[in-house]
Structure 1
Amino acid sequence: MSDTTPSVRIGLILPSGNILAEGQIHDMLPPTIGLHVTRLRLTGSSDADLDGMLADLSQAASLVADTRPDLIAFNCTAVSTRHPGSDREIAESIESETGIPTITTGSALLEGLRALKARRIVLVTPYIDAVVARETAFFEWHGIEVLAALGADINGNWEMAQEPEQRWQEMCLSAQDDRADAYVLSCTAIRTHDIIAPLEEALKRPVLTSNQALAWLALRRTGAAQARPGFGKLMQMPVEDGQKHQGGKK
């Protein structure tokens, strides 16, 4: 391992039970980027589990801030899309604690869809029904029409990680809809980054994943964007200037 000082440091906050996100994001980042990780307790998908993840948010933010990152990334889709303002509230809380710019998985997915000019999506997740419903409502509130929302009724991070990539690939293909502008493979705890390119070829549409969207936005927010072949159309896209998604009832 090189001891060269990274050109950019990213502080990553993950669920404690997530065994995949760190490796996937590392693969998507250029080798000059430093990734520094801390965790918050989360192993399940119940209301108590999801609410509980934020109980120690201030401490986790303070700990990862000790690495002096250029950006902090809170990487949990279910928590950052729990209600329409969750992504913003979490980022603001971390920024208030640390003074460091912060993004979340929810905001990264919204920004990615905006960059791709995608207004209609098919949503594929490993989640239980209640989490799927809340994430669907999150996207709809932010002006994204969800044509179909699929869940696999899996409760825990560990169990999600045991599922092969083919399961998520097959779910996407089974929900193919020519009206869709993009497909969203949601959840930081599932195996997805090797199927982005094959799915885009099969579906003829961009495919976003939670970890890919977070890596993409982190690189662009830190001015470190580079072409990363093999990880989908999004990784080639700039962050658009101008007004961000504005939430509101339609």
Structure 2
Amino acid sequence: MLYSPEPVGPAGRVGLITLATDFNSEDDLRAILPDDLRLFTTRIENANPVTVENLQAMAKDLPRAAKTLLPGYGVDVAIFGCTSGTAVTGSDKIAALINQGMPGTKVTNPLLASELALRAVGAQKIAILTPYLPDVTQSVADGFADKGFDVTRVMGFGLDNDFDMTALPPKAILEGALKVNTPDADAVFISCTAIRSAEIIAEAERLLEKPVITSNQALVWHALNLIEYKKPITGFGTLFDQAPQPTSKVEVP
């Protein structure tokens, strides 16, 4: 039988390295990603509760997990899907560990992507909402402060496992975004790939009258810029509607 093979992900292949306990990031990312891109997922070992110690411990599994993303074919860009894990381990170390398993592959993570996204919408002063325990929440806030942002307020829901984070109703996330906002904040950042934040971005921006950046939204935006994807994406906030290209990209070791 004769046939013409069809391309798989004609505009690009996006690889996601997410946590073994993650319930949400694939859904959020696929909701935002264009149809001509394909998302391929692998998982790393981790354990609840979501503590600084457990987040640091899981990083050692990144090289192994990266090797399992379409071996022999590869992806155009690899995403690490854990904001808090990046905060406690460091963006550069995350990229280096992934490139041990996928040499030469472009890499992004939620902390780096969100930093670039916030700069792209012109934000210097930011309010931060997380689902985490206080010490993990503080790690995220410190990560942005270290990059030169002024953090005007930080709030967390006090959750310590991925199931409870994904079970957090989008309405509660929206209410949290409204509550954490301060009048002088240029933008609100909603941390964590495990929470269902993609669907509330537009409404949060309408009510707050300022940009709202979420972990998964920023990941898609940065990944698309890394592979130079040019088609417009609508419905997911100011970042996609009017933000310029990021000013820097991930260094590939």
Same fold (TM over 0.5): yes
CA offsets per residue over residues 91-111 of structure 1, 9 Å max, x none?
122224322111111110111
TM-score of the two chains, using structure 2 as the length reference: 0.90
> How far, CA to CA, are the matches of 1:154 and 1:171 in structure 2?
14
Kindly state the Cα deviation for residue 230 of structure 1 after the two structures are TM-superposed.
Answer: 1.1
2:66 to 57, 61, 69: 61
8 Å contact kept, 1:21–1:189 = yes
SS, match of residue 26 in structure 1: helix
* Identity rate, percent: 30
Which residue pairs with 2:3 in the alignment?
none
3-state secondary structure, aligned to 2:78? strand
Q: Distance in 2 between matches of 1:163 and 1:146?
A: 24
Q: Distance in 1 between matches of 2:246 and 2:217?
A: 17
The letter for the 1-side match of 2:29 is: I
Indicate whether 1:207 and 2:212 are aligned.
Answer: yes
**After superposition, where does 1:1-250 map in structure 2 within 5 Å?**
4-6=7-9, 7-42=11-46, 43-64=48-69, 66=71, 67-82=73-88, 86-99=90-103, 100-236=105-241, 237-241=243-247
- Contact conserved, 1:120 with 1:144, CA < 8 A, in 2? yes
Amino acid at match of 1:235: F
Deviations along 1:7-62, one digit per CA (max 9) or x if unpaired, are 20011100111111101101111111011100112343123321221121110011
Pairwise CA distance, 1:228: 1.6
Unaligned segments of structure 1, at least 5 residues: 246-250
Report the TM-score, using the length of structure 1 for normalisation. Answer: 0.91
Q: Unpaired runs of 5+ in structure 2?
A: 1-5
Q: Compare 98-107 and 147-156 and name the one that shifted more.
A: 98-107
